[in-house]
Amino acid sequence: MSSLVNKSVTSPNTKKSLFWQLMLAGLCLASFSVAEAAGNAVNGKALYNNTNGASQSCGNAGCHGSNPASGLNKIARATNAITTMNAISGNKGNMGILGNYLTTAEAEDIAAYIVSPAAAEIPATPAFTVDTTTSTGGPLNGLFYNSPAESEAGWGVSLTQRGPIIFVAWFTYDAAKQPTWYVASNCAVSNNGCSGDLYKITNGENPLIPWTGSIKIENFQAPPTFTGSISFAFTDNDNGTMTFTINGVSGSKTITRQTF
């Protein structure tokens, strides 16, 4: 009877020992899992879908499918790189075909992808945004012309940026091939460019006529004539697209900064 009691009763010290053994085992397993998922998921996704030239990659429909989350053909086992490499060396499920193409490090990358497919998604490059934080000289200040550089002679567009506003001065030619000036005095910046009303400047004065200081501009010049709209979309501080409408006719130019 005493022997039965001894077999069925566990001492407090034994319980503590078992508890700490289980805790230690849990920590080891947790550490092991983290290590197995510590590979490069981006590279793992590429390998999963094209296993370094092997005739059948993991992502093929006949193997594990394009989505590892589907669990097709026990793909969850591949979250352990060692298990994967043992399966390859043992040619389980004809996985020996990967023996000459997959290293343990690459198996770890695949494991990282299988554990977290979202980790393999490369974030999109942030879109360019015009910097409007300075009010004394914006990054878009300068002279722009057709892109590629020096591909169209005789016209250009000058941009003067002050914070969220750009003053546009465009020198070009009209339908009769006569020199013409257009301006947009309030091209409001938004995201990667600006847009505003476009005005044609006419009846300017000859700069050789002496300025007396008493001459009022409205007596000698016609006011700017509203002619349409203009907008800019930049990919960086030096390149972009200029889109415009003049008297109901639309057009666009790819522009680049004129450097000296």
Looking at residue 18, what is its pLDDT? 46
Same domain flag for 159 and 90: no
Looking at residue 25, what is its pLDDT? 40
Looking at residue 23, what is its pLDDT? 41
In a domain, 1, yes or no: no
Same domain flag for 82 and 177: no
Same domain flag for 166 and 248: yes
In a domain, 152, yes or no: yes
* pLDDT digit string, tens, across residues 154-165: 999 999 999 999
Question: In the listed set 120, 150, 167, which residue is the last one of a domain according to the structure?
Answer: 120
* pLDDT digit string, tens, across residues 78-115: 777 788 788 888 877 777 777 777 788 888 888 888 88
In a domain, 137, yes or no: no
Range with the poorest average pLDDT among 7-21, 68-82, 96-110:
7-21
In a domain, 88, yes or no: yes
Looking at per-residue pLDDT, the higher value among 212 and 260 belongs to 260
Same domain flag for 18 and 113: yes
Looking at residue 104, what is its pLDDT? 83
In a domain, 2, yes or no: no
- Contact by Cβ (8 Å): 225, 199: yes
Alpha-carbon Rg for the chain, nearest whole angstrom, is 35
Question: In the listed set 72, 89, 120, which residue is the last one of a domain according to the structure?
Answer: 120
Structural domain for 183, as ranges:
142-257
Same domain flag for 31 and 96: yes
Q: What total number of domains does the chain contain?
A: 2
